[in-house]
Structure 1
Amino acid sequence: MRTLHVAEGAPEAAVLVDGASIAAVGPYEELAAAHPAARVRRWPGILTPGLLNVYGPELLEATYHPDPREADRLGTEPIGGERARAIFRADPSRLGASARRGVQRLFAHGTVAVAGELKARPVLDTVRRAGLAVGRRPDRLPGPASLSPTPLVLLPPLTTGSPARFAIFDVTDRADLVRRGAGTCVATVVGGRMVYRAS
């Protein structure tokens, strides 16, 4: 079934999804009239191509994302540095589970692609299964690794026939997104599937 995504802050940039691809991009009124059988999903804010997070290895291989059942011992925030290395050395099988939770955190920040050389097989498998694209890493990194890095790197504009990979942020415009950061994400779509939706 085709799905028409429209964000109230930018109805002129609605996206019609058919399977894993974008079937059309354009004003909501035109797309809705041309595809009356499409299911409509309305969102607050703006719809964007989604983000490229250039810190793939740092966030997925060098950071431990605690299981909620470990909150009493490890807390809920990502753990980096020597503490993360010690966790992975003590139990290498935790890397894959941590990467899966890390990918979910990336999705919750509108990330649809990562960059950087991923070397660990469990992480590569997780990224592949999740449908994250792998992009080119810039020569200079913008700052410390973060789920909401500064500056935010948006992927190229959405076009008909391209993969259905985008995010919706509860902001008024792109300047507001830059100011408030990727934590404003309300939904992320990868391969035509909604992989994150704010509760």
Structure 2
Amino acid sequence: MLTIHADSRGRALAVKGAWIAGTGQLEDLVAAHPGARVRQWPGILTPGLINLHGNELLEQAYHPDPREADELGTEPLTGDALAALAMDDARWGASARRGVQRMLANGTVRAACETLTNRAVRDAVHRSGLAVMGRIGRPGGTPALDPYASGLPVEFAEPREPDSAARFAFFDVRDEAELAERGAGICVATVVDGRLVYRRR
């Protein structure tokens, strides 16, 4: 089934399966694809963000389960706090799944990683659908789920064009300048390979 996703400015993408079938204004895509399901989101449509700290956030940090919040808090644990935990494959896999979900909640559609050496993390990331791109060395800055909080220039995934992979996000802001000011935590929806993988409740 074809779905049209549109932002507050009427910019829209038609999605069929994992691919973009068309781009343009909402009214034009609705006319071109009668019967398509239409989903309208507040704010702006972007290609989605790239998080440059894939290794640091997924296999060098532990993302506490909400049930552990009283004991461990809610922020990723690294360094000595991570070393104090008894980590096995099951716990690493669960942490990576939560980390990916938190990335998606910040509009991330691609993570930059050196080789993921932890098999449980690698398997969890692969199953999530989050795209992984290579990198050489550490990118600098501060690892953060919100790429705008990393202290590095923010990178977007490639522009959305017909026949490209359907990976994009919506942020509840008026424009890109307000997005840069407020950060990615105001993401309202993230689509990866045509699937709605995050929506703000």
TM-score (norm 2): 0.92
Secondary structure of 2:155's partner? Answer: coil
Of residues 173, 189, 192, the one that matches 2:194 is 192
Higher mean C-alpha displacement, 143-152 vs 98-107: 143-152
58-67 vs 68-77, which moves further: 68-77
- RMSD over aligned CA atoms reads 1.4
1:126 aligned partner: 124
In the TM superposition, residue 82 of structure 1 has moved relative to its aligned partner by 1.7
1:189–1:196: 8 Å Cα contact kept in structure 2? yes
> Is the partner of 1:157 in helix, strand or coil?
coil
Contact 1:15 1:26 in 2 (8 A): yes
User: What is the Cα deviation at residue 143 of structure 1?
Assistant: 1.1
Distance 1:51 1:58 in 2: 17
Would the alpha carbon gap of residues 170 and 142 (structure 1) be closer, same or farther in structure 2, given more than 3 Å must change? farther
Aligned partners of 1:113, 1:145: CA distance in 2, in Å? Answer: 15
The number of aligned residues is 195
Rounded to whole Å, the distance in 2 between the matches of 1:86 and 1:191 is 37
Summarize the alignment of residues 88-127 of structure 1 with structure 2, pairs less than 5 Å apart.
90-93=86-89, 94-117=91-114, 118-127=116-125
Letter in 2 for 1:42: Q
- Work out whether residues 49 and 147 of structure 2, in 8 Å CA contact, stay in contact via their aligned partners in 1: no
- The verdict on how the C-alpha distance between 1:168 and 1:60 changes in structure 2, with shifts beyond 3 A counting, is same
Structure 1 residue 138, shift from structure 2 partner: 6.8
The answer (yes or no) to whether the contact 2:50–2:147 under 8 Å persists in 1 is: no
Q: How many angstroms does 1:176 deviate by?
A: 1.2
Letter in 1 for 2:3: T
**What is residue 70 of structure 2 aligned with on the other side?**
72
With over 3 angstroms needed to count, the CA separation of the structure-2 counterparts of 1:140 and 1:178, relative to structure 1, is farther
Matching residue of 2:175: 173
Taking the aligned partners of 2:5 and 2:87, their CA distance within structure 1 comes to 42
1:108·1:188 contact (CA, 8 Å) conserved in 2? yes
Question: Structure 1-normalised TM-score?
Answer: 0.93
The AA in structure 2 aligned to 1:66 is P
Write the distance in 1 (CA, Å) between the matches of 2:79 and 2:138: 21
The answer to whether the aligner puts 1:31 opposite 2:33 as a matched pair is no
Residue 139 (structure 1) shift: 6.5
Aligned equivalents of 2:137 and 2:92: distance in 1?
Answer: 27
Instruction: Answer yes or no: is the 8 Å Cα contact 1:110–1:188 preserved in 2.
Output: yes
Percent of aligned positions that are identical: 57
Q: In structure 1, list runs of 5 or more residues that go unmatched.
A: none
Q: Gaps spanning 5+ residues in structure 2: where?
A: none
Q: Residues 62 and 85 of structure 1 are in contact (CA less than 8 Å); yes or no, is this contact kept in structure 2?
A: no
Q: Which of these residues, 42, 45, 48, is aligned with residue 44 of structure 1?
A: 42
Deviation at 1:153, TM superposition (A): 1.2
> Is the partner of 2:99 in helix, strand or coil?
helix
